[in-house]
Amino acid sequence: MKKRKLTSLLLLCLPWLSHAQTATFVGEQIDANVAIGYGVATGDVDGDGNMDILLADKTEIAWYRNSGNRSEKWQRYVIAKNLTAQDNVCIAARDIDGDGRVEVAVGAGWNPSETKDRKISGAVFYLVPPADRTQLWDPVKLHHEVTIHRMRWVMKSDNTFQLIVLPLHGEGNSGGVGAGVKLIAFDVPENRKGIWPYELLETNMHMTHNFQPMESAGRFLGLAVGGKEGVHVFLNGANGWAPSGNWMVADKGIGEVRTGSLGGGQLFTATIEPMHGTSLVVYSKDSRTVLTDKMKEGHALVCGDFFEQGRDQIIMGWRNPDVKGETGVRIFVGSDKEGKLWQEYSLDDKIKMACEDITSADLDGDGDLDVIASGRSSHNLVVYWNQRKK
């Protein structure tokens, strides 16, 4: 597929946009001293109405204050450090109690080769904020399994929240063979410094890598969990969590998974295959479309309607140099109802980005989704500002 650079407002004209508007992204590096940048999240941390950025880095959990003025420097505040002897690995941030400020949980003890001993592999913490959220938060250690890897706050169909945590391996698993991965679902207790009740779900999947809560119009549809065997949907009912039996992708190894809309009630599933893979793939109805197979160690994926088309676009990132010696992030814009035709564009190649994780949020309040990416070997945190309305 032909690739174009989005470097000015005039370079991308999408004829199928409802208002025939142009769009581009401009990158801004807000931190050039990131160690690894394992996980990035967004949310209002201090309650000022602006979406802040949170980062799970190697030894520290930090948030970057969004002042609402793009000319001001992003202030970085460390809220936890040295939680375990091993690295931090993931973060979840969401306002679950409606007070206008996010709750934060993190995963640490990153030791993926150790699948037997919980004392030296895996950790889960809920961080209790002080009155001044720029100071260190109090970590509350929760139950964990070995090789904790991903987590999300999930709003269930009854509008209550759970913290869902996914390990990489099952206990005692070796090379993706052995015990299945157990997904952990924590209920939020009234006393968050106390004991957190939890449920263990035997997924019967091996070497799971990421998952996507599927929510539509405030309604919870299920969890899409991606791993060695494909993408399986899990549902929550009266008796707790259970596998649905519905495989969105079967018999293909998956590293990253996100779901999106083609408009008109049509959905798609976007994946990076295999784990740490080379291919970005879209599944829609009965079709499988490979958008690119040229990246190396694809590790980041997000879907959203960045251009107000009434359908979602796909942004992916990879962290190791490809055959051209490049790392970076790309956006794919679809043009058909079947999800088979996509055009690839670069967000901004001026800033080096070896992408470890990626997310999106409206950071400047203009109604457009911006993109936030953390770089592994590039050691940076970058905001790609959506200039569609500029």
CA–CA distances in Å: residue 137 to residues 32, 125, 186, 210, 282: 24, 11, 20, 27, 40
**Predicted local distance difference test score (pLDDT) of residue 215:** 79
Q: Which residues pair with 64 in a beta bridge?
A: 53, 76
- Beta pairing partners, 295: none
The pLDDT-based confidence of 255 (bands split at 50, 70, 90) is very high
Residues written for the chain: 390
DSSP string, 287-328: EEEEEE---EEEEEEEEE-TT-SSS-EEEEEEEE--TTS--E
pLDDT tens-place string over residues 93-122: 999 999 999 999 999 999 999 999 999 999
Per-residue pLDDT of 233-247, as tens digits, reads 999 988 889 999 999
Predicted confidence at residue 156, as pLDDT, reads 82
pLDDT of residue 385: 97
Read off the pLDDT band of 390 (50, 70, 90): low
Question: Count of H helices and E strands in the chain?
Answer: 0, 29
Q: Is the pLDDT of residue 3 over 70?
A: no
Q: Say what the pLDDT of residue 363 is.
A: 98
- Strand ranges, E, within 101-217: 103-108, 123-128, 138-142, 148-155, 161-167, 182-187, 198-202, 210-216
The pLDDT value given to residue 23 = 54
Please report, rounded to a whole number, the percentage of residues in the chain having pLDDT higher than 70. 93
- Kindly report, residue by residue over 163-194, the tens digit of the pLDDT: 999 999 999 998 888 889 999 999 999 999 99
CA–CA gap between residue 260 and residue 332 (Å, rounded):
12
Mean pLDDT of 13-20: 35
The predicted pLDDT at position 159 comes to: 82
Instruction: Give tens-digit pLDDT for 189-219.
Output: 999 999 999 999 999 999 999 999 987 766 7
- Mean of pLDDT over the chain: 92
User: Tens of pLDDT along 117-160?
Assistant: 999 999 999 999 999 999 999 999 999 999 999 999 998 878 88
The pLDDT value recorded for residue 113 is 95
**Residue 20 — very low, low, confident or very high, per pLDDT cuts 50/70/90?**
very low
Which of 307 and 217 is assigned the larger pLDDT? 307
Pairing relation of β-strands 198-202 and 210-216?
unpaired
Give the pLDDT mean for 333-360: 95
State yes or no: pLDDT of 17 exceeds 50: no
pLDDT in tens, 277-296: 999 999 998 899 999 999 99
Strand order in the sheet with 148-155: 148-155, 161-167, 182-187, 198-202
Strand order in the sheet with 240-250: 210-216, 219-227, 230-237, 240-250
3-class DSSP state of 59: coil
